[in-house]
Amino acid sequence: MSQTVPTIRPDAPVLVFDSGVGGLTVLDALRRILPEAPVIYAADNAGLPYGEKSEAEIAARVAGLLGRMTERFQPRLACIACNTASTIALGMVRDVLHIPIVGTVPAVKPAAAATKTGVIGLIGTGATIRQAYVDRLEAEFAQGKTLLRLAAPGLVAAAEAKLRGRTPDPAVIAGVLAEFRAMPGGDRIDTLVLACTHFPLLAEELGEAFGPDVALVDGAEGIARRIATLTGGQEFLRTGPDIALFTRAEQGLASLEPALAARALSRIEVL
């Protein structure tokens, strides 16, 4: 007996989830590939920053929130647009939700293919860079290369500030460069993996600090292509404005309105 394939409503949204506003870099890439797709962008601002939480806290929080959001909004697919949450909670979320789940992993593979010096820098949250998942990526794709990892939690706050219209603290950017330069082989880095979706928001500042000979690599385009593949052949119908969903009401949300509106997220809600 053949199984009945569930019908996907044309107005079913793609749910893009992150701890904060970093996942907007994934949304930007998704808009370029699937501009017609209705989207809910969900930011767990009540739980930010994830990089300072334990693995158990992150796994339970992400699975619980995505369960509530899936029940309420009935998305066709969910994307965990957060390296920290993906490397820790992706398996659990896939076990409990019955929709396609796209995760985010550090772009070690393309960085290893691109490097000429063989020395790759990787910046992420503390929770991301210590994961065994990153060890496996290094072993599989960067054999014979040197992968220098650095926890750069200050960049998350800098990216959040920039999206709210404030100038990122240049000392934070300079500190990242200095820490890499102090590592053995750090002066030979020619490829920098942005292993947090917040960090491409600082591509201009990081590019100026590291110089034109260092390529910045992130996974946003690959994630967007994966979403497009999994939703191939589906009908999209936008029946209302796309939503920016937050887990806590706070005064700072008003300062995000210009950045959200620029991404056609014209309706703000609190879960």
What's the pLDDT score for residue 2? Answer: 47
What's the pLDDT score for residue 12? Answer: 97
Please pick, among 24, 137, 189, 196, the residue that the annotation labels catalytic: 196
What's the pLDDT score for residue 49? Answer: 84
What's the pLDDT score for residue 6? Answer: 65
β pairing state of 243-246 and 267-270: parallel
Active site residue 79: no
Q: What is the pLDDT of residues 126-177, one digit of tens each?
A: 888 988 889 999 999 999 999 999 999 899 999 989 999 999 999 999 999 9
Give the separation between CA 183 and CA 100, rounded to whole angstroms.
40
Structure tokens at 223: 């994630």
Q: Which residue's entry shows tokens 């699975």?
A: 63
DSSP H helices in the chain = 24-33, 55-73, 83-96, 108-114, 126-129, 132-141, 154-163, 170-181, 203-210, 220-230, 253-262
Please pick, among 21, 30, 82, 147, the residue that the annotation labels catalytic: 82
Closest CA to 195 of 21, 15, 57, 22: 22
| All structural domains of the chain | 14-104+221-270 (3.40.50.1860), 108-218 (3.40.50.1860)
Q: What is the mean pLDDT of residues 30-40?
A: 97
Active site residue 82: yes
Q: Is the pTM of this model over 0.85?
A: yes
Ramachandran bin of 211, using left for φ above 0, alpha for ψ from -120 to 50, beta for the remaining angles = left
Largest pairwise CA distance in the chain: 64
Return the percentage of the chain with pLDDT > 90, whole number.
84
Q: What is the mean pLDDT of residues 28-37?
A: 97
